[in-house]
Amino acid sequence: MLSPDQSISLFRRRLVASVLLPSAVFCLALIISLTLLRYLWEANRAVSDSDLVLAQANETFRRVATSQSMARAYMLYDRPRFLESYQDAKTRLWAEMDGLSQLTADNDQQQAAVRELRASLQQFLDFSDRALEAKKAGQRMVWSDQQEALAVQIREGFNGFLEREQRLRAQRRKYSQDLVEKSVWALAVGAILLGSGVAFYLRLLIASLLRNYSKALKAAEEGATVRERDYFFTMPTHLMCISGRDGYFKQLSLGWERTLGYSREELMARPFVEFVRPEDQVRTNEVKVEADENDQSGFTNCYLHKDGGEVWLRWSSSPRPGSGLVYSSAVDVTAERLAEQEIWRLNADLHNKVQELDRLNQELESFAYSVSHDLRSPLRALDGFAQALLRNKQDQLDAQGQQFLTRIKLAAQKMGELIDDLLLLSRVTRAEIKVADIDLSALAEEILQELRQHHPDRQVATTVAPDLKMQGDPNLIRVMLRNLLENAWKYTGKLEQAEISLTRIGSAFCVRDNGAGFDMEYQDKLFAPFQRLHRPGEFEGTGVGLATVQRVVRRHGGKIWAESEVGRGAAFYFQMTEENG
C-alpha cells in the first residue's frame, strides 16, 4: 500500500512520463521525418543532375557531329559557309565540354570519360584544322581513315558516357522510389506507436510529406514542360506567341524578330495592337476580345515592320481556360497579299481595256456602217450609169468602150460584194453569242439545197452524215457552214463529177471536197482576210469567207484547220469546245 506521498510522487512520475514519452516519440518521429525528407530531396536532386548531364552530353555530341559534318562538307565542296559553321561549332564545343565536366564533378568515372573525350576531340580538331588549312592552301584533301577512326572513337566515347549516365539515373530514380516506400512504412509504424493523438499529428505530417513530394514531382514535370516550350519558342522560322488579356505579348518565338524587325523585348514592352497598321487596329481589338473566349482562325491583319513596310499575317489562336492566356500562331502571307493586289490591279486594268475595246468596237461599227453607206451610193451610181450607157449609147461606143463600161459595171458589183462581206465579218466579230442546240445535218442539207437551186446546171454528189449535233449560236453557225459549203461548191465548179461531204471524225466536223485544192505551203494565209491562194480569173470571191469562218469558230472557243493537195480537193476540220460541240 503506497502512501499518499508515494502515490502523489508516482502520479507525478507517470504524468511526467505520459507527457515526456509522447513528446520524445514525437520529437524522434520529427527527426526521422526530417532526415527522410532530406534524403528524398537529395535523391530527387541526383535524378535532376543526371537529367542535366544527359541533356548537356546530347547537346555536346550534336555540336561534335556538326563540326565533323561541316569539316567533311568543306573538304568535299570547298564552300566558305561550311568552314564558318565548323569554326563556330568548334568554338562552342569547348564551352560545352567545360559545362559537362562541371556537371560530373562528383563522378570520378564520368570525369575520366570526359577527359578521354576531351583528348580525342582535341586530337580530332587538331587533325581537322591541319587538313582544312591545307584545303584552303589549295591542296586536295579528303576525309582520311584516321579522321574517320577518331570520329568513331568519339562517337563510341559519347555513347558509353550516355549509357553510364542513363544507368546511374535509373539507379538514382529507383533509390528515390524505394526511399519513398520505406519512409511511408516507417512513418506508419511510428503512427501506430504514438497512439491516437500522436498518430493524428503523424498522419498530418505524412500527408504533408506526400503532398510536398507530389508537388515536387509536379513542379519537375511542369519545369520540363516549360523547358520544352521555351525550346520550341527558340525556333527562328515560326511565328508563335502567348498573349494576355491586357493586350501584351507574354512570350514570342525568334521568328518575330526576323519578320517585324523588332527585338522580342521591344514587342513585349508595348500593347501588340500598337504594332498593327492603324486601319486594322479596331478589327484587331474586336478579334482579340473574341479570341479570349473562343478559338479563332483565318483572321488576317497588317503589322508594320520596323522599317515602315507592311507585313500581312494570318492568325490561328486558342485560349487556355482559366489562365487568361491565348496561344496563337501566325503565317506571313505578305507575298500572297501582294500577289492578290497585283491580280486586282491587273483585273482593273483589264476591265478598263475591255471598256476601251468596247468603245473602239462601237466606233468601228459606226465607221463600218458609215463607210458602207457612203460607198454604196457612188457604187450604185457607177453601176447605174454604166448600165445606162450600155443601154442608151451602145451604138455610139466602139467595142473597146463597151468593154470598159462592162468592166466598170463588174468592178462596182465586185466592190459591193466586198463591202457586204466586210460588214458580215464585222457583225460576226461583235455579235452576242446565244447558245442553242443545232442540227448540223439538217442545216447542211438546207444550204446544199439552196446551192442546187441557184446552180441547176451543176451535178454535185453530196454526202451529209446523219444526226450531226452541236451547240452554238444558230445564226453564226449558219454563216460558218454556208461559207464552207459555198467554198467547196465554188472550187469544184470545173469538175464534171464533183463531190462534197460533211462528216464527223472524232470530236471534229469535216467539210471535204474533191475540187482544185491548194498548196499546203501557203496554209498560213488561208484564213487571213483578202488572202487568195488562186488567181482572181480562176475562181470568183473576195477572200473574206474563210476569215469569217475562223472568227465564228474562235468565238465558240474552237479551232479550225485544213488539209489539201493541189488538184485533189481540200478538207476543212472545225472542232468546238466540249460545251459547244
Residue 391's pLDDT band (cuts 50, 70, 90): confident
Highest mean pLDDT of the ranges 52-61, 95-104, 278-287, 543-552: 278-287
DSSP symbols for 137-172: TT------HHHHHHHHHHHHHHHHHHHHHHHHHHHH
For residues 463 and 501, the answer to whether their CB atoms sit within 8 Å is yes
For residues 493 and 538, the answer to whether their CB atoms sit within 8 Å is no
CB count, 10 Å around CB of 136?
A: 13
Which pLDDT belongs to residue 573?
Answer: 94
Residue 99's pLDDT band (cuts 50, 70, 90): confident
Alpha helices in 236-333 (DSSP H): 255-260, 264-269, 278-291
Query: Is the predicted pLDDT of residue 333 greater than 80, yes or no?
Result: yes
Which pLDDT belongs to residue 4?
Answer: 45
Residue 489 Ramachandran class (φ > 0 left, ψ -120 to 50 alpha, else beta): alpha
pLDDT digit string (tens) for 197-241? 656 655 665 665 456 555 555 655 555 555 655 666 666 667 888
Q: What is the DSSP letter of 276?
A: B
pLDDT digit string (tens) for 529-578? 656 655 555 556 556 678 888 888 888 889 999 898 888 889 999 998 74
Residue 305's pLDDT band (cuts 50, 70, 90): very high
Q: Where are the beta strands (DSSP E) in 422-558?
A: 436-439, 460-464, 469-472, 498-505, 508-513
* Cα-based distances in Å from 489 to 449, 460, 479: 12, 8, 15
Highest mean pLDDT of the ranges 16-25, 190-199, 341-350, 370-379: 341-350
Q: Cell triple for residue 83?
A: 568552314
> Taking residues 427-438, what's their average pLDDT?
74
Whether the CA torsion 380, 384, 387, 390 is positive or negative: it is negative
Torsion of Cα atoms, 335 then 337 then 342 then 348, to 10° = 170
CB count, 10 Å around CB of 75?
A: 21
Which pLDDT belongs to residue 145?
Answer: 72
pTM: 0.37
Which pLDDT belongs to residue 271?
Answer: 93
For residues 548 and 479, the answer to whether their CB atoms sit within 8 Å is yes
> Taking residues 141-162, what's their average pLDDT?
75
Residues 6+ apart with CB under 8 A from 183: 33, 36, 40, 209
Percent of the chain predicted with pLDDT > 90: 15
For residues 128 and 147, the answer to whether their CB atoms sit within 8 Å is yes
Q: Cell triple for residue 372?
A: 458602207
Residue 98's pLDDT band (cuts 50, 70, 90): confident
pLDDT digit string (tens) for 484-525? 998 889 888 888 889 999 999 988 999 999 988 887 877 777
Percent of the chain predicted with pLDDT > 70: 74
Max CA distance (Å), the chain: 190
Which pLDDT belongs to residue 464?
Answer: 93
Which pLDDT belongs to residue 237?
Answer: 61
> Taking residues 420-431, what's their average pLDDT?
59
For cell 520529427, name the residue.
Answer: 30
Phi and psi, residue 341, nearest 5°: -65, -40
Closest residue by Cα to residue 92 from 103, 100, 81: 100
CA distance 229 to 127: 39
Choose the weakest-confidence range: 167-181, 317-331, 367-381, 503-517: 367-381
CA distance 501 to 455: 18
Which pLDDT belongs to residue 446?
Answer: 93
Q: Hey, what amino acid is at 255?
A: G
Phi and psi, residue 427, nearest 5°: -65, -40
pLDDT digit string (tens) for 34-69? 777 777 777 777 778 778 877 877 878 777 778 777
Rg (CA), the chain: 50
Residue 88's pLDDT band (cuts 50, 70, 90): confident
Choose the weakest-confidence range: 271-275, 286-290, 404-408, 525-529: 525-529
Q: Greater confidence, 247 or 494? A: 247
Q: How many CA atoms lie within 13 A of 85 on its CB side?
A: 17
> Taking residues 97-106, what's their average pLDDT?
82
CA distance 507 to 573: 10
Choose the weakest-confidence range: 22-36, 49-63, 101-115: 22-36
Alpha helices in 233-273 (DSSP H): 255-260, 264-269
For residues 438 and 480, the answer to whether their CB atoms sit within 8 Å is no
> Taking residues 328-338, what's their average pLDDT?
89
Q: What is the DSSP letter of 456?
A: T
Secondary structure of residue 81 in the 3-state scheme: helix
Q: Greater confidence, 231 or 456? A: 456
